[in-house]
Structure 1
Amino acid sequence: MMRQKVKEGGKRGISINMLVFILGILICASLLTYIIPAGQFDVNPETKALIPGTYHAVEQTPVNLWNALRNIFTGMTNSAKVMSIVIFMGGALKVIISTGAVEEFLNWAIYKLQKKGIAVIVPLMVILFSVLSAYGGNDSFFAFTVIGVAVAAKMGLDPIAGMAMTYFATSVGFAGALKGRTLVAQGIAEVPLYSGAGWRTVWLFVITGLAVAYALWYCFRVKKNPARSFMDNTDWIVGGPQGDIKKELFNPMSLLVIVITAGSFILNAVMGVLKGWTYPEQVAVLLIASTVCGLLYRKSPTEIAESFAKGCQSMGFVAFIIGLGGAIALTMTQGNILHTMVNAVAAPLMHVNKGFGTIAMFW
C-alpha cells in the first residue's frame, strides 16, 4: 500500500499510489456506514436540491465491504458522462499539442522577450501562460518550466522565478479555466455547463493580476539581493542554465492554432449560455477544432488519429479514478451517512456570512 523512498540527504518519504489511496477511501467509507448515524434531508422533487432544516435520523443501513466493491462498477456507469468527456478532452488536446504549435509560439515569444527588463517580461509571461492554460492548455504546459528557468537565468534570477513565470502561471490559468476542468467539475456537480462563465472570466483576470504582482515582487526581491532567494543559497548563480535562448522565427500558423483552440472553447461557452449546448456539442466542436489544427500542420488523418488515441490513453486512469469517486459517493448514499456528514459541516455555517461560509466549506 505504501512504500518508502530515499530522498536526497538520506531522508525517507512515503509514496502512495493514487489507485491504492482511493480504494482505501472506499474501504473507509464502507466502515463509516457502521459508525456514523444514518440520516437524510428531505429533497425538493422538482430541483432535487436538499431542503435546509429537514434533516432527520433514519434506520442504519451499513454497506459491507463486498457491496462497496460491487459499487465500483455502478459508480463508473453513473459517472460515464464525465469520464467520457475527460477521455475525449485528453485526445483532442493531445492532437493540438502534438502539432508543436503551442511550443513553437511560446519559444518565439520568449526569444523575443528575453532581453526585456523584469518589469516587461515577467508580467507578459505570467499573463501568456495563465490565459493559454485557461482556454486551451493541459498538464503538458508544465513542461515549459524548463524554458522559464532558462529565461530567469538570463535575467539574473533564480529557478523559482522561472517557475513563477511558467508553472505558477499555468496553475493560475487552470484555476480560472473555462475549458476541460470546468466541464468536468460542472458535470459532477450537475450544474449547467459554462454557467457563471462571465464571472469566471472576471475572476481569471483578477487572479492573474495578483499572480503578476506576486511574481514581480519576488523577481525584484531576488534581483536586488540574490541572498534573499527562497532557495536559501546562491548556488544557482553559478549552477543555473547558461547561454542564449534558441532563436525561433515567428510562424503565423502557430498563432492560428492557438486562436482556433481558444476560439473553440469560447464558442462552446457562448453557445452553452445562448443555446444550451452541452457535452454532445462540445465534443463535436472540439473534434473539428483539433482536426483542423492537425491538418494545418500537415498531419495525415492517421497521424491525427494516433495522437488522439495517445491522448485518450493518458486520461484513461484519470477517468477510472473519477469512477471510483462515484463508488465512494454511492457507498455513503446507500449507508445514509452522506447527508449526516453534510449536516454536520453545514449546520454551524448557517449562522455566518455566506462569503465566509463558502470559504469555510472549501477548506
Structure 2
Amino acid sequence: MTQTTLDPAPKKTRFSFPSAYTILFALIVIIAALTWVIPAGEYDRVASAALGKDVPVAGTYALTDANPQGFFDVILAPIAGFYDPGSYTANAIDVALFVLMIGGFIGVVTATGAIDAGIKRAMTRLKGREKWMIPILMALFAAGGSTYGMAEETLAFYVILTPVIIAAGYDALTAAAVVMLGAGVGVLGSTVNAFSTVIASDAAGIPFTDGLMLRFVILGLTFAATVAYVMRYAARVKADPSRSLVFDLKAANEAHFRNTSEATTDFTGLQKIVLILFGTTFAVMIWGVSLGGWWMAEMSGLFLFAGIAIGLIGRLGEKGLVDAFVGGARDLLGVALIIGLARGIVVIMDAGDMTDTVLHWAEGTVAGLSNVVFINVMYWIEVVLAFFVPSTSGLAVLSMPVLAPVGDFAGVERSLIVTAFQSATGVVNLVTPTSAVVMGGLAIARVPYERWLRFVWPVLLGLTIIIMAALSIGALMGGTPA
C-alpha cells in the first residue's frame, strides 16, 4: 500500500531523454559554439570534369577570416537547412516534400481498407514463417544500398513495413532495423554504388573496380552478422514482448500502425486492385531511381499521382480523397521538420568554415604511419568526418582528393582508402543525428533516438571489428586486388 502511494514520486524526478527535435537543435548550438573555437580555413579547389564539382587540392590549406556563428545564425539554421544543400545531393525541402507526398499516398491507401485487409491475409498465410521476412527484406535493402546507394528512398518503406512487422508479432524497432540496417550494410559494403564507391574512386583517381573483391567480402560478413543480430532480437521480442526496447510504446504504436477494430476480414477484389497499384508504385519508384534518372521531384510526383489514382479507383469520393491525403501528410509533418533541423547542423558548420580545418587535421594525422596502422587510422578519420558530412557523395568529393594521395607515401593502395571511406561512412550513417535518413526513418517508425542507440551499439561494435580486420588484411597483402 505504502509503496503504491510513493510510486508516482520517482517518476516525476526520473530523467527523460530529450526528443529528436531537442537533440538536433542542441547540436546546432554546439556546432555554432565550436565555430568560435576551431580556426576557419579552406583548401584551394579546382573543377573536376569527372565529378562535376570543385574538389580540394592537397597541401593548399590556408587559414581564412573567422566567421563565428551567433544567436541569429542558430535560429535561422533550421530554416536555411531546408533550402541550402551544402554538401548534399538534394535540398532538404525536396526530401521533406517527398516525405509529405508519401504520407498523403499512404493515407489514401489506408482509407480504402486495403492495407489492413492485406496485412491480415498475409499474416494468415505466413503463420509460423514470419521470421523469414527479416533476412529476405534485409537482403533486398542491402542490394539497393550496395548497387545504387539506397538512402532517402528507404523513408517510403518504413511506412509500409512497420505495420506488417508489428502484425507479425515483432515491434517497431525491428521494422526500423530491417530497413535501416539492411540498406545501411549495403552502403558500407558498396560494390557499384555511384554515390559512394564510384564517386570516391573517381576522386581518388582510380577505377571503381579496384578493390571490388574485398568490398564483396566486407558486404557478406557484415550482412550475415547484422541479420543474425536482428533475427535474434526479433525472436526474443516475439517470445516475450516485455523484452522489447520500445515495450512502453507498444500500445501506442499498434494503435497508430494497425487498425485494431473488429472490422470485416474479407479481402475484396477492389482491395486487391488497390494493393497491386500500391506495389506497382514502389516498383516504378525503384525503376525511376536506378535506371530512369529520377530524384526527389519525380518521386514526389509519382506518389501524388498514385494517391489520386488509388483514391478514385477506391471510390473514396472527392472529400474522402482530400481528407485522407491531407491527413496522411499531416502524420509525417514532424518527420519533415526533423529533416530541416538535421540539415541545419551542416549549414552552421559550412558557414563557420570548419569542415576544411577538420580535414586538414586529418591530413596531418596519418603522416609517417605503417600501412596497417595508417589504414585503420584512416578509417577512424573518415568516421569523424562522416559525423560532420553525412552525405557519402559530399564526403567523397571533400576527402578523397586530399587523403587518397597520402596513402601513396604509406605504401597503401588508394582502393583500400576508398574502401575505408565507404565503410566508415556506412557505419556512421546508421546512427548520426545529422542524417535526415536516420532521424526521419526513426520518426516514421516511432522509435525514439536513444532506444535506437541502445539497440544498435553492439551492431556498430561488431561491424567495426569486421571492417578493421578486413582493412588490416588488405594492407598486409599490399592492397585490395580486384
**Interval of TM-score (by shorter of Structure 1 and Structure 2):** 0.5 to 0.7
Q: Which residue of 1 aligns with 2:167?
A: 147
The answer to whether the 8 A contact 1:136-1:262 is kept is no
Residues 112-131 of structure 1 aligned to structure 2 (within 5 Å): 112-114=125-127, 116=128, 120-124=129-133, 127=136
Q: CA deviation at 1:144?
A: 4.7
Match of 1:14 among 9, 13, 16: 16
> One-letter code of the match for 1:112?
R
Map of 1:356 onto structure 2: 420
Residue 48 in structure 1 maps to residue 74 in structure 2: no
Work out whether residues 41 and 62 of structure 2, in 8 Å CA contact, stay in contact via their aligned partners in 1.
yes
The answer to whether the 8 A contact 2:138-2:182 is kept is: no
Matched, 1:91 2:104: yes
Say if 1:213 and 1:274 are closer, same or farther in 2 by CA, change over 3 A: closer
CA distance in 2 between counterparts of 1:316 and 1:135 reads 13
Matches of 1:328 and 1:69, distance apart in 2: 11
Q: Deviations over 1:294-317 (max 9, x none)?
A: 233321121111111112222223
The alignment status of 1:74 with 2:105, answered yes or no, reads no
Confirm or deny: 8 A CA contact 1:135 1:262 kept in the other structure. no
Counterpart secondary structure, 1:13: coil
- Alignment partner of 1:138 is 2:158: yes
- Residue aligning to 1:196: none
List per-residue Cα deviations over 1:313-359 (Å, max 9, x = no partner): 22223222322333322221121112223444576524573323432
Q: Distance in 1 between matches of 2:70 and 2:299?
A: 39
Q: Let me know the Cα RMSD of the aligned residues.
A: 4.6
TM-score, normalising length: structure 1 = 0.65
CA distance in 1, matches of 2:338, 2:231: 38
- Residue 323 of structure 1 is matched in structure 2 by 340
Q: Sort the Cα spacing of 1:247 and 1:95 in 2 relative to 1 into closer, same or farther, 3 A.
A: closer
Cα drift, residue 214 of structure 1: 5.8
State the alpha-carbon separation in 1 of the partners of residues 67 and 78 from structure 2. Answer: 19
CA distance in 2, matches of 1:206, 1:169: 22
Q: Secondary structure at the match of 2:125?
A: helix
Partner of residue 255, structure 2: none
Q: How does 1:133-282 map to 2 (within 5 A)?
A: 137-139=157-159, 141-144=161-164, 146-149=166-169, 162-163=170-171, 168-169=174-175, 171-176=177-182, 231=243, 248-282=265-299
Tell me which residue corresponds to 2:326. Answer: 309
The worse-fitting range, judged by mean Cα deviation, of 120-129 and 296-305 is 120-129
Residue in 1 that maps onto 2:66: 60
- The answer to which of 349-358 and 26-35 deviates more is 349-358
**Contact 1:39-1:336 at 8 Å conserved across structures:** yes
Matching residue of 1:240: none
Q: Deviations over 1:166-224 (max 9, x none)?
A: 7525631355569xxxxxxx9x99x99xxxxxxxxxx999999877766776789999x
- Paired AA for residue 107 in structure 1: K
- Cα–Cα, structure 1 residues 12 and 142, in superposed 2: closer, same or farther, change >3 Å? farther
Q: Is 1:31 the equivalent of 2:30? A: no
Give me the whole-angstrom Cα distance separating, in 1, the residues matched to 2:34 and 2:352.
9
Residue deviations 1:66-113 (CA, integer Å, cap 9, x gap): 233234433333333232222222222222233332221121121234
How much has 1:268 moved relative to structure 2?
Answer: 3.1
Hey, what's the Cα distance between the residues in 2 that align with 1:279 and 1:222?
36
How much does 1:22 deviate? 2.0
Contact 1:6 1:12 in 2 (8 A): no
1:340 aligns to 2:357 (yes or no): yes
Q: Give the unaligned 5+ runs of structure 2.
A: 1-6, 85-91, 142-152, 185-192, 200-217, 245-261, 367-377, 379-402, 429-482
Unmatched 5+ stretches in structure 1: 150-161, 179-185, 193-202, 233-244
Query: 2 CA distance for matches of 1:211 and 1:106?
Result: 26
- Contact 1:135 1:265 (8 Å CA) reproduced: no
When residues 344 and 296 of structure 1 are mapped into structure 2, their CA distance, relative to the original with a 3 A threshold, is: farther
In the TM superposition, what is the alpha-carbon distance from 1:287 to its structure 2 partner?
1.9
Quick one: which amino acid aligns to residue 262 of structure 1?
Answer: G
Q: Distance in 1 between matches of 2:341 and 2:234?
A: 42
- In 2: Cα distance, 1:95 partner to 1:130 partner: 29
In structure 1, C-alpha distance between the alignment counterparts of 2:424 and 2:106, rounded to whole Å:
34
The residue aligned with 1:238 is none
- Tell me how far apart the structure 2 counterparts of residues 254 and 342 of structure 1 sit (CA, whole Å): 54
- Residue 56 and residue 253 in structure 1: after superposition, are their counterparts in 2 closer, same or farther (change >3 A)? farther
The DSSP-based 3-state class of the residue aligned with 1:330 is helix
Residues 35, 55 of structure 1: alpha-carbon distance in 2 compared, 3 angstrom cutoff: same
Kept in 2, the 8 Å contact 1:123–1:212? The answer is no
The change in CA–CA distance for 1:270 and 1:81 in structure 2 (over 3 A counts) is same
SS in 2 for 1:16: coil
Q: TM-score, normalised by structure 2?
A: 0.51
How far, CA to CA, are the matches of 1:30 and 1:297 in structure 2? 50
Question: Conserved in 1, the CA contact under 8 Å of 2:107 and 2:327?
Answer: yes
**TM-superposed deviation, 1:35:** 0.5
Provide, for residues 31-68 of structure 1, a one-character-per-residue CA deviation record: whole Å limited to 9, x for no partner. Answer: 11111121223334352243252433323221222233
Q: 2:312 and 2:296 mapped to 1: Cα distance? A: 24
Number of residue pairs matched by the alignment:
307
Structure-1 separation of matches of 2:305 and 2:38: 50
